[in-house]
Chain A
Amino acid sequence: METVLQPIGRAFVSGLETTGRLSIFAIMAVTYCVRPPYYPRLILRQMIEIGFYSLPVVGLTAIFTGMVLALQSFTGFARFSAESAIPNVVVISITRELGPVLAGLMVAGRIGAAMAAEIGTMRVTEQIDALTTLSTNPMNYLVAPRLIAGLAMLPLLVLVADIIGVFGGYLVSIYKLGFNPEAYLRNTMDFVEPLDVISGLVKAAAFGFIIALMGCYHGYNSKVGAQGVGQATTNAVVSASILILVFNYGITELFFAR
């Protein structure tokens, strides 16, 4: 009996421990985001890294998602002669769900991993200790700029993803399924509401925060050695991805459940 219960108890306790440690880290990180000194140069660099360099990945994801969405809805809706609903399906799916979630997951893979690897390497090679000995708080210098940049850039990326995604659906509908371009666009614009886009952008901001937080947390607490940094990188991506999906449900519930 003991042999069965012990691992369960241990997993439970360590789960609680991790949650506690992560919460403390998150609160501290947010405090340091608003507490001076600020590092505008570093924030800008992270913004470029997250916002600009993720554009190709996010753009490609969005355009193919929009395209396949139109194609799949057509095969389904044609059976009920409901092809005219395709523009609506595409724009709602992209702005509410697929834009933020897929962009979030792609950026988690790209940026979350890079943050964890960079900060983890800095931890392992004592660069974080060196920062402290040079009268610089690593939370201020390393973590805060990444959180701010994540929070600010993900909504912008998702806005771009929304536009490109809708354009993907448009391309397939016009050139493959023979829709009328004007009717398609009018249909899209008539149907989409501000709340659809806004809810997606709120999600994006939350996801940006989660990605940066996970990257920094796991990197900051990285174990010694190449294996430690590797583990930190994996943990950052996996935990960010799962949290994105969980929070996605939570935020959807907040916005649309009546």
Chain B
Amino acid sequence: MNFEAKTRGWPKIEIRNLHKSFGPKKVLDGVDLDVAAGESVVVIGGSGTGKSVMLKCILGLLQPDRGSIKVDGEEVVGMNGSERRRVMRKFGMLFQGAALFDSLPVWMNVAFGLIEGRHMPRDEAKAIALGKLAAVGLGAEVAELYPVELSGGMQKRVALARAIATEPEIIFFDEPTTGLDPIMSDVINELIIKCVQDLGATALSISHDMASVRRIAHRVAMIYNGRIIWTGAVDAIDHSGNPYVDQFIHGRAEGPIQMAAAYP
């Protein structure tokens, strides 16, 4: 892991001993994770293992109970107000359900971060938005539509265009291919690779779609019971020697990971 980090650059994100509980339920129980600049890390793990919670802690959408998160060497836990906004400008996020604003047309969605976050004039922002839409394979005719008029795959593309519109240094992808058909999944994977490369961005994704993981990851980390239990290069994933990882990537019901039938 350290070797990998050194070859790609300094750590862009450093997470140490991150804890987060909801009532009695411990979701994150001491997460340690480094993401190097320019690297694409995918965190895998079953549903409800805290993958999304980890991302939300980094983004400041949730307040961790304990632990440290450094972005470019700067501690962000406990940051708020204008400091937080300054750091947030480094981030772009693709939400699982696209999370497009229903009340705004597509181009306004894409231009939102530019207009509201960066106070760019609307015409200028619209031109950039159209460019970003083109980059994800959507024509200008889509720009005036509303999100509800689009298919799931198109919504994902718009969301991707929105995530890259402000040219962030770090992009988070929350289950980018969930709910898409295999072909559309691959299209989105391709776009993610292309966008991340074009921007030279650092990417942190969470996924349980192994085909997608193999496409977009440089490095994979597996989260289980609120901890990172394995991390390694994506090529190493098939001979990790870790029974949890083996069970997960082959999708077997039998193994050390026991799925709870229902939450208490």
Query: A19 on the interface (CB 8 Å rule)?
Result: no
Q: Which one of A126-134, A143-151, A157-165, A187-195 is at the B interface? A: A126-134
Contact B88 A129 (CB under 8 A): no
Interface centre among B61, B85, B96, B99, by most A CB within 10 Å?
B99
Q: Given A127-B99, A130-B95, does the pair A141, B116 have CB atoms closer than 8 Å?
A: yes
Contact A136 B116 (CB under 8 A): yes
Interface centre among A121, A129, A135, by most B CB within 10 Å?
A135
> What is the size, in residues, of chain B's interface with A at 8 Å between Cβ atoms?
24
Task: State which residues 92-141 of A face B: CB under 8 Å.
Answer: 121-122, 125-127, 129-136, 141
Q: How far is the CA of A125 from the CA of B88 in the complex (A)?
A: 20
Interface mask (B93-105 → A, CB under 8 Å = 1, otherwise 0) = 1011101111000
Nearest CB of B to A44, in Å: 14
Contact of B116 among A122, A127, A134 (CB under 8 A): A134
Query: B38 on the interface (CB 8 Å rule)?
Result: no
Query: B50 on the interface (CB 8 Å rule)?
Result: no
Query: B112 on the interface (CB 8 Å rule)?
Result: yes
Contact A133 B116 (CB under 8 A): no
Nearest CB of A to B54, in Å: 14
Contact A135 B59 (CB under 8 A): no
Contact of B60 among A127, A131, A132 (CB under 8 A): A132
Interface centre among A37, A133, A136, A141, by most B CB within 10 Å?
A133
Nearest CB of B to A245, in Å: 32
Query: B117 on the interface (CB 8 Å rule)?
Result: yes
The closest CB in chain A to the CB of B88 belongs to A135
Contact A127 B112 (CB under 8 A): no
Contact of B91 among A37, A125, A133 (CB under 8 A): A133
Chain A contact residues, CB within 8 Å of chain B? 37, 121-122, 125-127, 129-136, 141
Known pairs A126-B96, A126-B99, A127-B101; list 14 more (Cβ under 8 Å): A125-B97, A125-B99, A126-B97, A129-B56, A129-B95, A130-B95, A130-B101, A131-B101, A132-B88, A133-B59, A133-B88, A133-B91, A133-B92, A134-B117
